[in-house]
A = this chain, B = another copy of it.
């Protein structure tokens, strides 16, 4: 679906009429009706209602139920007409054969947009496909945009709208996602929640009977509160439009795509799953890269990449300084850097001279900077600042610095268990205090250096207590700490690739405000 008047618009991303306004309505409703709301736990009507309420949506919620007086302790209504106020957004999760009537009811009652969670449509065969067409026709006649059918749901985190099948309320932030697989998308959102990555919007695109992944991408490109877009894509009908949109979005913000159906067996599986025609991945890959898209192959890469892109400045080149507390880790990270296209230029003499004054005589005097077991957060901070301030480097990776203070505490804790006369509770508490102060200082230093020099500092924490990639620093700042060097390197490589592409486009005059 394209719009002939497109070229007249200021924003070329508005590829279908009123896309931005309608999508804003969809994402920022003041009232939501749940058609099919339920207290029966094997039903989506229960999943969705419970999750919406748990998420803290502040607008009106109207459960629609044929009989019940209340659903999940909320007053329920037998129909939309009965609701005490207008309905901006309706979620439909009743059996397929009743969905048409429900949609007509939505149209009659001025509902602005609908999300159809119900399944049994084009994904099941011809009969379902015909039914889906009728649904779409009703929505279009009424000027409603329709997400789905057969969608896992959606999230609009700043609106506290968490309405997917699984219990998942990630923190509000800048990352938005489109997923052509509900389960996979929901899992990425669960990882975001688990790891503290800030989410803006999520759309399970379902069968894309009406709203397509391409339109959703265009909207997220336009949406200024979205800082980066993730997508899981199995197949796209109009590849040319998708490419053009992806390119426009990439000129504004990072687009990270996991494209499946890359291999023979994978393409067959995708056809079986969503009926997607995958086409040749070689061609797809080339075109996507040229369009500025960062391509990944594993689901976890999506959220790893998002964590870095949401919270760090982009590197201006591929020159990395590695700062490590253990020599082996430095070597491992260096290999991975080179294998992912990142260089480790030698240490400039002035940095060497300065570190000579900070470190024991047998320090590495090379990049990676091996801090040879130093346990002073100020030493770490100074080394990181030297690397950030230097013209020789575009990015810094630290290994084992974050979390290193827990080492001494762990020993104290063990000693308390085996010899409490040697380490009593008060000593243990003092150690915990030292550890926490140490870590807080280091996190603040890293956050400050990142901001002051506008360079990404990516950390690898080997502390098992850190479950989250995103760690807090003072004043609401955040730092990024992965649990393996391979993740840190992969993310930095992706960011470097993207920023290199952006710089090249800018050189050719291609910029977007």
Residues of A at under 8 Å CB distance from B? Answer: 39, 41-42, 46-47, 50-51, 53-54, 72-73, 123-125, 166-167, 179-185, 187, 190, 194, 232, 234, 258, 260-266, 268-270, 272-274, 297-300, 325-332, 334-339, 343-344, 362, 364-366, 368, 370, 375, 400, 407-408, 410-415, 417-419, 421-422, 431, 462, 464, 484-486
Contact = CB atoms under 8 A, between A and B. Distances in A.
B328 A179 contact: yes
Contact of A331 (B167, B266, B298, B415): B266
A415 B50 contact: yes
Contacts of A123: 362
A348 to B, nearest CB: 16
This protein's copies in its complex: 2
Nearest to A417: B54
A51 B419 CA distance: 12
Given A54-B417, A334-B269, A418-B72, A297 B339 contact: yes
B418 A73 contact: yes
Contacts of A264: 338
A177 B512 CA distance: 53
Nearest to A47: B411
B414 A167 contact: yes
A-B pairs with the 7 shortest C-beta distances? A181-B328, A183-B326, A263-B338, A266-B335, A273-B327, A184-B328, A298-B486
B407 A344 contact: no
B411 A269 contact: no
Contact of A422 (B72, B180, B272, B411): B72
Nearest to A327: B273
A268 B327 CA distance: 12
A299 B485 contact: yes
